Each structure stands twice: as structure tokens, then as C-alpha cells.
Amino acid sequence: MSARLTCITAQQTHDAAYLDLLARGAYTGVVPEYEQQWGQIHPGPQTWAWTPTDTIVSFARSKGLTIEGHTLVWGAPDYPDLMPTWITTGTWSRESLLAVLREHISCVVHRYRDDIHTWRVVNEAFDEQGRRRDFVMQRVIGEDWVEHAFRFAHAADPTATLLYNDYGLEWGALHGGNREYDAVLEMVRDFLRRAVPIHGIGLQCHFDLQYSQLPHAADFSALVRSFAELGLRVQATELDVRLDHVAEDRSVNLRRQESVVDLVCDTIDAYRTGSVCVWGLSDGTNWLGAHATAAPYDVSNQPKPMAHRLGRVTRARLPSDRSGRD
């Protein structure tokens, strides 16, 4: 089984119930849920807020957990908490913005180089049509801002594993039907040809039981294989599966949720290239809200069928299971 991670907040490092779930599932690593987003860690030109990440790092150290960095640059201009207005509304030249990008990435990567060996460097640079998202880095620096982000991260820690992270590659059909996948694959091939330091792909894996977003087994396997064959690590970086948009019986939905998680874990585990990270352990803490019931444990911290495949917990039984499975 590949490594299993979950996101965690600085606050949750003191939350006994969350820590219990982490231990019960024998998770091997954590990812700061939002503390490292640019708007959090570097909210003003001269302002750095290290404490929340430091808290997570020392917690992880004390428990022997690995930590992945999330994320160095996310073009999320509508969320100032994630990408601050001093960046998105500043007046920049290509050179001045590149200098800020370099400084930001260098400082963050360098500070945590002893503890964080994998970074999700750039998050969501492409839209679902495979176009670069409209974002200040794209407008001012141009197409190569992504490549520069990877180069700056590599310069700050030449031993770190650097990932490109996105959410739409794994949604729905693959060949001929997924422009975002086509665009990311093309970018990665180009990076590898030109020795731009990229080492892996993070598939966020935010799924919805609504048919259109569910991966088909053949597509998901082909997706992972296509990057693995290029020598890249492929990770599921933010797995959750929401149930609230379909009207089926709960036990049917929980089984379908489990089968999506099985597919993701089977595929990632088979290629032995990466890890599976769930985006929040329980419905009470998952970013989508409790109604989405997208996490491995419910609001009472009881495991759902999907939980066993993520953490090392005994397969959960549904009330309708008479025979029992193990």
C-alpha cells in the first residue's frame, strides 16, 4: 500500500478527536490544509506568517509523519485568503513579478527544506478547457510563469519532489474528451524535454457521485499510466467523494463512494508511484461541509466503507451487510 496522507489544520494538531482518527487509520503523513497558501503565509509584501505551518511541522515531526507542502502558487484571485490582493491587484512588470515569485517560493521552500520533501508547486493553472487561467502571473509574466515557479522551487531545494496539482484531469473521459488533461500532458512533456524540474502530478480527486465527474476505471488507469510512463510520480492529493447530489439510498451511495476510493487506491498503489491523500478525515471537518458526506468518517467519527481502504482500519459494515466482509 502506498503512503496515506490527510490534510490537517494547525488547530487540528490539538484536536483529540482528529488525532484519534489519524492514529486509527495509521496515516503516514499530513498536508497543511490552507496555512501555506500565499495569502496566509505571505499576506503582505514584508509580512510572513510562519507560526501555523511551524505548528504543523513540529506536530508531524513529533509523530513521525511526513509533510507535503501545499501549495506554493495557486492562481485563486477570487479568494484573497489564498492569493493576496497585494499580488493580484499590484502594479507589476514581468521582472518585478518574477522577482516576487522567486522570493516567495525561495523563502517558503528553504525554510521547510529539512521537513518538507514534496511540494505541490503550482495549483490549478489550467481551466477545464485546457486554457491557462486568467491570473496576474499569466497576464504579466506570461506562459512561462509556471516553469519559473518550478525552477525557483528546485533552486531552493534541489532534492525536493515537485508536483503540478489540478482537479480536472481525472474527471470523466480521457482521450479526446478532456482538454485539461491534454494541455497538462503537453506542458509536462515540454518540461521534461527542456529539463524543467517537474517530478510528479497531483490529481486532486475531488469526486462527486454525479455521473459526469466520476472516473471510469479504464480512463483513470490510462491517466495514471500516461504520466507514470514519463517517469513521473502520480499522487491523489485531495481525495473526497461527495454524495449529496444524488438521490439514491444512503447505503447504495456509500458503496459507490467506496468503489471510487477503491479505484483510486488500486490504481495509485499498482503503479507504486505516489501516495493517496484524503482532504479531511471526517464529514465534520471536510471543506465541502457535513452535508456533502464526502470524507472517510461521518460526523460522529464513525468509519464509512471507504475508510478502510484509505487508512488501515477494518472494513466498515453497513447495516444492510448481513454476511459481513473482511
Taking the least distance from each CB to ligand XIL, the nearer of 128 and 266 is: 128
Nearest to 102 by CA among 155, 51, 170: 155
12 is a contact residue toward ligand XIL (CB under 6 A) = no
* Cα separations in angstroms, 115 against 59, 62, 118, 119, 158: 11, 12, 9, 11, 14
Query: Cis peptide before 285, with omega less than 30 degrees from 0?
Result: no
Find the binder of ligand XIL among 28, 123, 161, 267 (CB under 6 A): 123
Place of cell 484536536: 15
Residue 170 contacts ligand XIL per CB under 6 A: no
Which lies closer to ligand XIL via its Cβ, residue 170 or residue 238? 238
CA dihedral 294, 300, 302, 305 (to 10 degrees): -30
Q: What is the DSSP letter of 326?
A: -
Q: Tell me: does residue 180 bind ligand XIL (CB under 6 A).
A: no
Phi, psi of 316 (to 5 degrees): -75, 145
H-helix or E-strand spanning residue 148: helix 145-156
Which residues inside 257-296 make contact with ligand XIL, applying CB under 6 A? 287
**One residue of 35, 68, 157, 238 binding ligand XIL per CB under 6 A:** 238
Site for ligand XIL contains 33 (CB under 6 A): yes
Q: Which is nearer to ligand XIL, 43 or 252 (CB)?
A: 43
Q: Please give the size of the binding site for ligand XIL, defined by CB under 6 A.
A: 6
Q: Which is nearer to ligand XIL, 39 or 303 (CB)?
A: 39
Answer yes or no whether residue 127 interacts with ligand XIL by CB under 6 A. Answer: no
321 secondary structure, DSSP code: -
Q: Does 204 bind ligand XIL (CB under 6 A)?
A: yes
- Report if residue 86 touches ligand XIL, rule: CB under 6 A: no
- How buried is residue 113: exposed, middle or buried, by Cβ count under 10 Å (0-12/13-18/19+)? middle
CA–chain centroid gap for 66, Å, is 15
- Closest to ligand XIL by CB, 13 vs 305, is 13
Q: Which residues pair with 5 in a beta bridge?
A: 29, 277
**CB of residue 33 to ligand XIL, shortest distance in Å:** 5
Residues that bind ligand XIL (CB under 6 A): 33-34, 123, 204, 238, 287
